[in-house]
Structure 1
Amino acid sequence: MTAATVTRRAAPSARSRGAAPRWARPAFWAVLALATVLHVWALGRNGDANSYYAAAILSGTQSWKAFFFGALDAGSFITVDKPPFALWVMGLSARVFGYGTWSMLLPQAAAGVAAVAVVHSAVRRSLSGTAGHAAALAAALVMTLTPITVAINRDNNPDTVLVLLLVLAGWFCLEAVRDGRTRTLVLSAVLVGLAFNTKMLQAYLVVPAFAVVYLVTAPGTVPRRFGRLLAAGAALVVSSGWWMLIVDLWPAADRPYVGGSTDNSVWDLVVGYNGLGRIFGGQGRGGGAGGGFGGEPGAGRLFNDVMAGQISWLLPFAVLALVCGLILATRRATRAAAPSTGEAAPSRTVPSVTRAPAVREDLPGARAALIMWGGWLAVHYAVFSFSSGTFHPYYSTAMAPAVAALTGLGGALMWRAYRRSRAWAWALPAGIAVTGAWAFTVLRRTPDFVPWLAWAVAGLTAVAAAGLLSARMSRRLRLRISAVALAAGLSAGLAGPAAYAVTPLGSAVNGTNPTAGPAGGGFGGPGGMRMPGGTREGFPGGTREGFPGGTPPGDAAPGAPPSGAAEGAPGGGRGGMRGGPGGSVSSQMIEYLRENRGEASWLVAVSSAQSASSIILSTGQPVIAMGGFTGGDPAMTVDRLKELLSSGRLRYLMPGGGRGGPGGGGGSEVNTWVQTNCTAVAPSEYGGQESEQSSLYRCG
């Protein structure tokens, strides 16, 4: 019987011998309850959240074809610029319960809570005994209170589902390291493949960490490990590529244009807009002016004024915990395996082999977990820090599981070392001091936000560090002093994130770019634009403020504010909506289009998804976004337009002045053809002012 077989068979019994402390289960459920409150409280005020995805979800409830392809409109002219797995999750809920805020966003909130539970389980199974339960609880609490995670889990962007799939994949990867079974590793790869069908190449950022930890720590010979990895790689390719293959093999004339691509293929979307374009930038293909909404690229991006309050609170501690944890786990595992450990000899009635698995369960298991979560964090940090394409702050929610797990695991190992070794007595106090100092710095960047909090954090940090150092000098009171100091350090480290994490509950989410924190800690946009965190001023993709409960489209009374617009909103006054590059769309124009649509499949064609999504959500009718999300997709050509008009499937257009090149939604060729061959509708026909310049054209 091999040592690996003995370890696998003995590991479950080793876990079962360590009964959970009484506080473990109530504390775990309390953290889940906190996560639920943070994700669900006042969720109804978020309306449509990101109207771009909301329109696709609504369209998917009206057409299974639109559902499968992830089309923006029920007529399936163009897809959104992401694969549809997250839309399927929300769309199925909307089909069962009817489209609305709660049916769309509650699955997102549930996914966020589930991710907390999975991280807790993964950490608990990586470290035995009370230490494992304490580490898991700390990890779950950090995950729950990560500000950007709270913000994005109250939205309908795909990142929430992405994170849940990836932490599930990480859980199964660690299980594969423990049990050595190929099927467990294959299941991990399948989950990564589903994550790929949620947000494409971002899902693969965890793959290097998974591969390394399996090669280094899994049981079996090296050739067998490679063989299992090859099997998992095959499963990853199949689970990632099946939807892409179906779409690209489907006749282009019978399916929607692939939004975000230059050649109507998912492959181009993967490699370009959602791939290399995100890393290297480029106008209109995933690029962003000034590094996007997260600030300029560089090693300090995640610590700048935009990102620091979203994700960086515990980054320094996580890195220190990773380094110290790896050293401690490796050294102790080596010493425990050596014959000169100094431990008492095992009883004659118990085979000596039964003692080794308990050590392997504790230390190598923790080491494997530290390698995986550390690799996860390192790859994400490198990509998010230095990518030159569009970078939104909410992308960093994918780092939260790694930060949380490293904080819990490494912190538990540092606490154990602090209690047992004078040589390591400095590590935990140093980590707490660095964390407190960084939290003080971040909080003082916005001095008007809970002004006393920064000083309270500084005081608690000082108490914690001093208490831990002084406790070593008193044997009699060491445990009590160190416990109080540890509690103070934990409070100091989580106070800042907690204060930021509750802010999304107080206002409607910015659906396009959700963030957490005070008004002064906003996000950076193109050209250095700054916006208050958590607000939605002037951004398309906002909530349907006229329908805080998510009133179904078409149910509003005539003249009520349509989706995405309130009184005085840009692009439309009372009863108007943001029209994007095509101009404002008033309720009178919408009513005119309804009455004169005839047998056409689409209500109107507009230049971009920003305009189309608000009309779709306001009316519940299909609307063509000729240029996709940016207005620059070459989805509409003159030949395609002629075909739609001659078949009677389209009658009205608002070509506008989008950013697309020739052939794009706002491109010059389409614009010129429409202006030459179609009739401008006088504003007076739909109740507009005579002095207005017409942006609506009737063709046929």
Structure 2
Amino acid sequence: MTTTRLLPRGAQPVAATAQLIGRATTRARLALIVLLAATALLYLVGLDASGWANAYYSAAAQAASESWLALLFGSTDAANAITVDKPPAALWLMGLATRLFGVSSFVILLPQALLGVASVGMLYVTVARYVGRRAGLLAGVVLALTPVATLIFRFNNPDALLVLLLIIAAYCVSRAVETASVRWLVLAGVLLGTAFLTKMLQAFLVVPGFALVYLLAAPTTVARRIGQLLAAGAAVIAAAGWYVLLVELWPAEQRPYIGGSQTNSFIELIVGYNGFGRITGDEVGSLGGGGFGSDPGPLRLFGTEFGGQIAWLLPAALLAFGIGLWLTRGAPRTDRTRASLLLWGGWLVSTALVFSVMNGIMHAYYMVALAPAIAALTGIGGALCWPRRDDPVVSGVLAGVVAWTGVTGYVLLERAGTALAWLGPIVLFGCLCTATLLLVAPRRTRGIAVLTSTALLLAPLGFSVATAASPQSGALPSAGPGRAQGDAGAGNRARGGGAAGMLHAPEPGERLVSMLRAAEATSTWVAATVGSNSAAGYQLATGAPVLALGGFNGTDPAPTLAEFQRYVAEGQVRYFIGSGVDLTPNGGSDAANQIAGWVADNFASTTVDGVDVYELPR
């Protein structure tokens, strides 16, 4: 069996792949334009209904609009007290947007929506290059309609940039496999290093799959393949390492404290709180000694917490991966179709395995990292199986995929409650009818093709539209209807005291806002309060720096009690705002609690707009 015989109609062999988009038929170009326009519509309409969305990152974008140092380090305030607990690459986009167009909800969220449209387009190009335009189109549609993707591309968490960078890296690996090109492989390494500066070690979950496909399929000797992979690894280190080196060498007293660390160290953040601690659960500084999410296990991604985010076509993708490898079993080592399957299958398997066994903090929106692989495998599997559907085995697999998808959609829609319960029986009935037709009349082409696509996509379409129509806010968004205020369900409930009050930004009243704005001219920080989300609410309302004691969880030793006392003595902080949060640090610093206690013992409070406010001496 040769490579070209394995390619479905519309696929491009290596000699004919250049200028894929330029050579596309008018109908194919129109289909891509419609896909991108519909994706933009889904991601952009009513975009600012979520207000500041994740106020934690919105406050950092506001700070970046006023301070280049805050932009560089990802500070939560323009006076540069402390950074967010992630690398700042995504904030660079948001910060530059606010510098160009001003600070507003729409300006902060717009880059995320555009990243989403670009991700859909880039996935189309990557899949279509070897498996055909129809496969690319189906992959793009599946990605656009994956509920967690709709959520993230309308929100301002860093994951939107992460997804696009990883898809482009996958494209570069595909190009490298064509001719054993070290240039394309090194570029993939640069993109992975940049993705590291977006969400640290999560960016590397795709690396095993990428390395495996290159080792197996690149048309050159084993020694040269290994050497080129080492060069790509060096590119990853260089692309990520320059920033790590910059932070570690910059004098600590001249930069903000590294949020999420206990020692003001970016390296600690990499290996600890945002690194291996997520796997082991040993995350110093988390609240209450617990994480978020359901218990680890093989069915975790189908459970109540994560199923509605990503599981809609997960069974279809896994079956497509398996049947695709079977159909390409006799192909040459360098077969491009099988290389594509291994690329996306490796991405899916390695990432899903890690997400399934993680003992640390695990949020529902992390599932967006699986969406491109699921979408690509669905498109590739459909393109490989559809022309062979007269084969009883293949038609049986297709029917099984559709039926299984219908059952999955029905269960997930039932879990969503009354808002979408009516859709579940329609999805189940449609999928079962379609599965039956695939078995008894597989050669009917157009009618069954349309029916199959509709049956597969109806449930995620309904859930995604409901997600887009539901305003989201808070630190822990979750796809689905009626999820306002970041209510992510059981998967985002805190296990331990104090966390719930740390995850949402307050909306201060007019009197308090006026008081804080009046203090801006004479203070470095108009106020201090425990936790970055609490500080973000006051900062966004006033446009003035607010000191976030203890960072995101309130458990970082920044500032210490002695440092805060010095700030007060120098008149740098005008007010202290009580948060009403009782922190239970998991091995983290108790400095924020100490500061709150010291303020309560030494200064009188006044209730302003329902909040305890302590006036500090000038």
User: Is 1:299 matched up with 2:298?
Assistant: yes
Q: Aligned ranges for residues 21-40 of structure 1 at < 5 Å? A: 21-40=25-44
Structure 1, 444-453 or 383-392: larger mean CA deviation: 444-453
User: 2:288 & 2:145 partners in 1: Cα distance?
Assistant: 29
Shift in Å at residue 281 of structure 1? 1.8
In the aligned structure 1, how far is the partner of 2:37 from the partner of 2:590? 48
Match of 1:390 in 2: 361
Distance 1:14 1:171 in 2: 13
Q: 63-72 or 20-29: which moved more?
A: 20-29
Deviation at 1:51, TM superposition (A): 0.5
Give a deviation string over 1:360-406, Cα, whole Å, max 9, x none: 6xxx1111111011111011111112211111111100100000000
Q: Equivalent residue for 2:527?
A: 604
Q: Counterparts of 1:43 and 1:105 in 2: how far apart (Å)? A: 7
Q: 2:489 aligns with which of 487, 507, 523?
A: 523
Q: Distance in 2 between matches of 1:447 and 1:43?
A: 24
Indicate conservation of the 8 Å contact 2:516/2:542, yes or no.
Answer: no
Deviation of the 1:605 alpha carbon: 1.7
Aligned pair 1:626/2:549, yes or no? yes
Change (3 A) 1:539 1:259: closer
After superposition, the Cα gap between the structure-2 partners of 1:38 and 1:10, relative to the gap in structure 1 and judged at 3 Å, is closer
One of 340, 349, 365 as aligned partner of 2:336: 365
Matched, 1:245 2:249: no
- Output the amino acid matched with 1:405: A
Match of 2:329 in 1: 330
Whether the 8 Å contact between 1:55 and 1:613 is mirrored in structure 2 is yes
Cross-structure match for 1:76: 80
1:636 aligns with 2:559: yes
Q: CA deviation at 1:180?
A: 1.4
Cα deviation per residue 1:237-288 (whole Å; 9 max; x = unaligned)?
Answer: 0111211211111111111000000100001111111112211224654578
> Residue deviations 1:164-194, cap 9 Å, x none?
1110111101111112111110110101111
With over 3 angstroms needed to count, the CA separation of the structure-2 counterparts of 1:195 and 1:527, relative to structure 1, is closer
Residue 156 (structure 1) shift: 0.6
Contact 2:17 2:129 in 1 (8 A): no
2:44 counterpart of 1:44:
no
Instruction: Give me the whole-angstrom Cα distance separating, in 2, the residues matched to 1:90 and 1:389.
Output: 28
8 Å CA contact retained: 2:309, 2:478: yes
Residue in 2 that maps onto 1:321? 320
Given candidates 365, 369, 372, the residue that maps to 1:401 is 372
What does residue 532 of structure 1 align with? none
**2:69: which partner in 1?**
65
- Give 2:137's aligned residue: 137
Closer, same or farther: CA 139–10 of 1 in aligned 2, 3 Å: closer
CA offset digits 1:108-141 (Å, max 9, x no partner): 10000000001101100122xxxx1111111011
CA distance in 2, matches of 1:452, 1:600: 56
The residue type equivalent to 2:459 in the other structure is G
Say if 1:192 and 1:236, in contact at 8 Å, map to a contact too.
Answer: yes
Between the aligned partners of 1:449 and 1:645, the Cα distance in structure 2 is: 51
Which of 482, 486, 509 aligns to 2:449? It is: 486
Give the residue type in structure 2 aligned to 1:618. Answer: A
1:311 aligns with 2:305: no
| Partner deviation per Cα, 1:640-689 (whole Å, 9 max, x = no partner) | 22443344433433465552668545233x3454455x432555xxx679
Q: 1:439 to 1:272 in 2, by over 3 A?
A: same
Counterpart of 1:465 in structure 2 is 435
Aligned partners of 2:385, 2:338: CA distance in 1, in Å? 13
What displacement does 1:31 show?
A: 1.1
How many pairs were matched up?
Answer: 597
Change (3 A) 1:287 1:183: farther
Matched, 1:652 2:570: no
Deviation of 1:224 (Å): 0.5
Query: Is 1:424 equivalent to 2:347 in the alignment?
Result: no
Q: CA 1:625 to 1:137, structure 2 compared with 1: closer, same or farther past 3 Å?
A: same
Q: 1:179 to 1:298 in 2, by over 3 A?
A: same
**1:442 lines up with 2:412 in the alignment:** yes
State the AA in 1 paired with 2:523.
A
**Mapped contact 1:60–1:66 kept (Cα < 8 A):** yes
Change (3 A) 1:630 1:173: same
- Is 1:512 the equivalent of 2:475? yes
Which aligned segments of 4 or more residues in structure 1 are displaced greater than 6 angstroms?
Answer: 14-18, 287-290
Q: CA RMSD in A?
A: 2.8
Aligned equivalents of 2:90, 2:143: Cα separation in 1: 21
8 Å CA contact 1:182–1:228 kept in 2: the answer is: yes
Deviation of 1:13 (Å):
3.3
Identity of aligned residues (%): 40
Q: Residue 463 and residue 527 in structure 1: after superposition, are their counterparts in 2 closer, same or farther (change >3 A)?
A: closer
Contact 1:209–1:376 (CA under 8 A) maintained in structure 2: yes
- Conserved 8 A contact 2:575-2:613: no
C-alpha separation in 2, matches of 1:512 and 1:122: 32
Could you tell me which residue of structure 1 aligns to residue 148 of structure 2? 148
1:547 corresponds to: none
SS at match of 2:80: coil
- List runs of 5+ in structure 1 lacking aligned partners: 4-8, 338-359, 473-477, 530-536, 543-563, 566-576, 578-585
Per the alignment, residue 56 of structure 1 pairs with 60
Q: Which amino acid aligns with 2:545?
A: P
Tell me how far apart the structure 2 counterparts of residues 10 and 456 of structure 1 sit (CA, whole Å).
40
Partners of 1:260 and 1:17 lie apart in 2 by: 45
Deviation at residue 591 of structure 1 after TM alignment: 2.9
- Opposite residue 531 of structure 2, the aligned amino acid is S
1:11 to 14, 19, 22: 14
In the aligned structure 2, how far is the partner of 1:446 from the partner of 1:149?
A: 17
1:638 is displaced (CA, Å) by 2.7
Aligned to 1:195: 195
Counterpart of 2:186? 186
Deviation at residue 52 of structure 1 after TM alignment: 0.5
Distance across 2 between alignment mates of 1:141 and 1:517: 18
- Indicate if the aligned counterparts of 1:679 and 1:699 stay in contact, CA closer than 8 A: no
* Cα distance, 1:28 vs structure 2: 1.4
Name the aligned partner's letter for residue 202 of structure 1: Q
* 1:499 and 2:462 matched: yes
TM norm structure 1: 0.80
Mapped to 2, the partners of 1:16 and 1:152 lie a distance apart of: 31
Q: How many angstroms apart in 2 are the aligned matches of 1:227 and 1:82?
A: 32
Select which of 660, 664, 667 maps to 2:593. 667
Counterpart AA for 1:107: P
8 Å Cα contact 1:172/1:188 also seen in 2:
yes
- Specify the code of the residue in structure 2 equivalent to 1:445: R
CA shift in 2, pair 1:62/1:446, >3 Å = closer
Q: Say if 2:502 and 2:531, in contact at 8 Å, map to a contact too.
A: no
Check conservation: 1:606, 1:625, Cα contact below 8 A: yes
Name the amino acid aligned to 1:469. L
- Counterparts of 1:547-586 in structure 2, within 5 Å, are 564-565=506-507, 577=508, 586=509
2:257 maps to which residue?
257
Q: 1:151 is matched by which residue type in structure 2?
A: L
Three-state SS of the structure 2 residue aligned to 1:621 is: coil
Q: 1:539 Cα deviation (Å)?
A: 8.2
Amino acid corresponding to residue 142 of structure 2 in structure 1: V
| Contact 1:281–1:287, Cα closer than 8 Å, also in 2 | no
Amino acid at match of 2:489: F
State the one-letter code of the partner of 1:487.
V
Once residues 598 and 504 of structure 2 are traced to their aligned partners in structure 1, the CA distance between those partners, rounded to angstroms, is 29
